[in-house]
Amino acid sequence: MLKLIAEDYIDPAKIEFVLPLYEELVEKTRQEPGCISYELCQDLKNPGHFVFIEAWKDYDALDAHVASEHFQRLVPQIDAYTVGEARFTHLEKRF
């Protein structure tokens, strides 16, 4: 199993525009066959900081997610409202 933490930094004044995009992304991603879990959290101290906590069957499942229609369509729209560079941390459970 592959775990991923993906962080977005959104302009706080634009959150209302991004939330419907995130909602669709989460809904459709959770239906993907290799998706084990896909959660979106919002930082309580920094409302423009969003964190995805993801679990995937393997790298092939993650690659299929990134290539999916909804990812390819929604992520560029979300990125239009970013104020900082996204961060990605790939993790593998050891014990």
Structurally, at CATH architecture level, domain 11-50+57-85 sits in: 2-Layer Sandwich (3.30)
Residues 6+ apart with CB under 8 A from 76: none
Measured between alpha carbons, how far apart are the two ends of the chain, in Å? 12
**Local confidence band at 92 (pLDDT 50, 70, 90 cut-offs):** confident
DSSP H helices, 2-68, are 15-29, 59-67
CB 4 within 8 A of CB 75: no
Task: Give the model confidence (pLDDT) of 12-44 as tens digits.
Answer: 999 999 999 999 999 999 999 999 999 999 999
Domain layout of the chain by residue ranges: 11-50+57-85
**Tokens found for residue 91:** 């993790």
